[in-house]
Amino acid sequence: MKDIELGDYIKTKCAEYCEIPADQIALDAKIMGTYDLTSLDFLSLLSDVEEEYNIEIQDEEILEVESLADLITIIEGKIK
């Protein structure tokens, strides 16, 4: 999968939970606080990602995620 496609998928899923257009999502922005994303929304987003890419993101990895770019880095490491 190309990085752009993964980034677009993550932005689209985040936009769904934040109820804003995907083009307003910046991958390097802080997830919590920048967008109106609750911790439950974030966990749901992670669940969607795990299901879509057939991966499992560990709790320790989740704690390290501050931006969507961080999440993409974790996903890329698991799908390569």
| pLDDT score for 80 | 75
Task: Decide which of 40 and 1 is more confident.
Answer: 40
> Binning pLDDT at 50, 70 and 90, where does residue 9 land?
very high
Residue 3 has pLDDT above 80, yes or no: no
With contact defined as beta carbons under 8 Å apart, do 80 and 40 qualify? no
| pLDDT score for 51 | 94
Q: Is 19 helix (H, G, I), strand (E, B) or coil?
A: coil
Q: What is the pLDDT of residues 13-72, one digit of tens each?
A: 999 999 999 999 999 999 888 888 888 999 999 999 999 999 999 999 999 999 999 999
Domain 3-79: state its class: mainly alpha
